[in-house]
Amino acid sequence: MDAITSLPDVVALTKALIACESVTPAGPAVFDVLEAALLPLGFSVDRFLAGEAPDGPVENLLAVRDRGGPHFAFAGHLDVVPPGAGWASDPFTPEVRGALLYGRGAVDMKGAIAAFVVAAARAPSTGTLSLLITGDEEGPATFGTVAIIERMAARGLQPDLCLIGEPTSVHRLGDMIKIGRRGSVNIWIEVPGKQGHVAYPHLADNPITRLVAILAEIDAITLDDGSEWFQPSNIEVTDLGVGNPATNVIPALATARLSIRFNDRHRGSDLTAMITAIVKRHAPDGRVTARISGEAFLTPPGTLSTLIGAAIERRTGRHPELSTTGGTSDARFLSQLCPVVEFGLVNATMHKLDEAVAVDDLILLADIYEDILVAALQPAIR
């Protein structure tokens, strides 16, 4: 593991973070590395566990350097998805080959966290900086950023602006930033029937027939054609189940699971009610269970997106696209506090085998983050 000094090097710090195996939920070792990098920079570091099984406990970190003035927050996660088999090298042994640094978490999102730490080391002496880092963004996210927000509220900490270092760039660093995300709800449908012999259907009630009718009605729905900043909402069937091993038996239960990604024209509760009504029409005894992962949100173009876009353009010459595409992120929670924008590394290899980041992109991202802080920590930014 590369040693970390009081003036961190972005590549060395990224390597040190990658070297900690932190499959979600992240363990303490990776937080030790981050804390060691932050303490010499004047941050007070608050590490705490939140929640109980099955979704907890989760380790989180809230680091603050309070110098008055505007409060700029950076949010991210140190947990990673499982690496999977077939890597060209050990996924938790960081390795530079050619122009790329390989390792699980290189782009999602240990590299961005390292870049922000380096930027913070160079940042102006005015203003307040905070890092909101969870160990459970890739998992259930029940006791991660939500718990950090509660911790901040208890301490009276209120950021003015928040940047999340998710890998938003598509082809080149800085070509896209995220100003919003669609909402997400997963729905489980259970249709009970009455088991019986297939030769005597009048003595049974086939739940598959009812479920097929339910799914056909759902499939015919067009939720919307999109909105000003969002793509159309969509409903996808993600699982079907009967579990009937016999060829001559009508089963007693049929199940399905839906995933709905929805824009700012909808609320998760309204979509759940719509699906429930469809199920009840075809199967009055049907059961519907929903889990809303997050509502759609939007940070309209304004101070934060302009500030980030200007920093990107200054360093790269690129004018970033403002987008709301992709899956959910912890911005769905942080958007309740203040304006939130996501900007980070190129996402082409995130969650894939041989995840890698361009070394030059790590260095450039730290430079861009530094420019963002220079602008954001000015007294007039509040």
Of 58, 24, 59, 26, the C-alpha closest to 45 is 59
* Mean pLDDT for the stretch of residues 159-175: 97
Active-site hit among 9, 136, 137, 295 = 137
* Mean pLDDT for the stretch of residues 254-271: 97
pLDDT tens sequence across 294-307: 999 999 999 999 99
C-alpha span between 61 and 31 (Å, rounded): 7
Go through the chain and tell me how many residues it has: 382
Q: Is 1's pLDDT higher than 50?
A: no
* Mean pLDDT for the stretch of residues 179-199: 97
Percent of the chain residues topping a pLDDT of 70: 97
C-alpha span between 381 and 264 (Å, rounded): 28
* Mean pLDDT for the stretch of residues 285-312: 96
CB contact at 8 A, 144 and 26: no
CB contact at 8 A, 77 and 136: yes
Per-residue model confidence (pLDDT) at position 8: 81
CB contact at 8 A, 189 and 250: no
Buried b (16+ CB within 10 A) or exposed e, 279-316: beebbeebebebebbbbbbbbeeebbbebbbebbeebb
Q: Where are the beta strands (DSSP E) in 86-156?
A: 95-97, 100-102, 128-134
Report the Cα–Cα distance between both ends of the chain, in Å, rounded.
40
Strand partners, 176: 321
The model's pTM = 0.90
* Mean pLDDT for the stretch of residues 344-352: 97
C-alpha span between 136 and 26 (Å, rounded): 7
C-alpha span between 159 and 162 (Å, rounded): 7
Secondary structure (DSSP) of 33-78: HHHHHHGGGT-EEEEEEE--TTT--EEEEEEEE--SS-EEEEEEE-
Active-site hit among 79, 160, 166, 361 = 79
CB contact at 8 A, 124 and 41: no
Per-residue model confidence (pLDDT) at position 380: 62
Q: What torsion do the CA atoms of 368, 305, 185, 61 make, to the nearest 10 degrees? A: 50
Active site residue 137: yes
Of 131, 122, 118, 93, the C-alpha closest to 15 is 93
C-alpha span between 168 and 332 (Å, rounded): 15
Average pLDDT of the chain to the nearest whole number? 95
Active site residue 239: no
Per-residue model confidence (pLDDT) at position 3: 40
Which two tokens mark 84? 């999977």
Q: Band the pLDDT of 6: cuts 50, 70, 90.
A: low
Residues with Cβ within 8 Å of residue 223, at least 6 apart in sequence: 232, 233, 234, 235, 260, 262, 265, 266, 271
pLDDT tens sequence across 51-106: 999 999 999 999 999 999 999 999 999 999 999 999 999 999 999 999 999 999 99
